[in-house]
Structure 1
Amino acid sequence: MAKFVFTYRMPPEFTPGKPETLTAWGAWFGTLGDQVIDQGLPTHGATAVGECGAGSVPSGYSVVEAENLEAAVTIAERCPALAEGGGVQVGAAVDLPGAAPAGGAA
């Protein structure tokens, strides 16, 4: 299985922590089961360097396992961020030769 990084982007006026939003995210993550390798963390208060998509701000990330990019996109299409006017960027994680494993030493 391949690993994919989901980066969540929301409109600048989005307010995190609303009970209905938290419920929707919890339900969505519940449907993913073992596909979620790292649920990640939400973010709030950010700036950008370079071109990062007009009208959106980073709001969090997750690492998800899927068979391929198409399968990862299918998962992302069910993300609650979309119902809030946001989006999900999906990128394949790449293992770099000689790099230390995530969370550990080389």
Structure 2
Amino acid sequence: MAKYLYVYHGSGKMPTDEAERKAAMDAWNGWYGKLGSAVVDGGNPVGMSKMVLPGGKVENNGGSNPAAGYTIVEAKDIDDAVAKAKDCPILMNPAFSVEIAPIIEVM
């Protein structure tokens, strides 16, 4: 099985209301439970990013498509990884997305 990186794009902001935060965590835990042993690294949310450009210029704009978090999963191929991502809770918000890329082992 190959490993795939899921990069979640969106605001990266956790709900501030306790009930909403619990509902979100329950949805994520349910999805991870459905994926089972395919989850290699459940990942974490991430904060706002900075971009380092050629010449050392730094942009503090959160990136053109801000990352909200990541997960690493195992799948038989990229189509399987895409199928596994279709039930991701972040997709309940139509403004968010999941980018999927194969992890290429070099060593």
Per the shorter chain, which TM-score range?
0.7 to 0.9
Report how many residues are paired: 92
Aligned to 2:67: 58
- Percent identical pairs in the alignment equals 29
CA deviation profile, 1:44-100 (whole Å, cap 9, x unmatched) = 3x12427x975x421111110000000000011110111023111100000114xxx
Aligned to 1:33: 36
Q: Which amino acid aligns with 1:94?
A: I
Q: TM-score, normalised by structure 2?
A: 0.75
Pairs within 5 Å for 1:1-106: 1-10=1-10, 12=11, 15-17=13-15, 18-44=21-47, 46-49=48-51, 54=64, 56-85=65-94, 86-97=96-107
Q: TM-score, normalised by structure 1?
A: 0.76
Q: Which amino acid aligns with 1:27?
A: G
Q: CA RMSD in A?
A: 2.0
- Which runs of 5 or more structure 2 residues have no equivalent in the other structure? 16-20, 54-61
Bigger Rg, structure 1 or 2: 2
Structure with more helix by fraction: 2
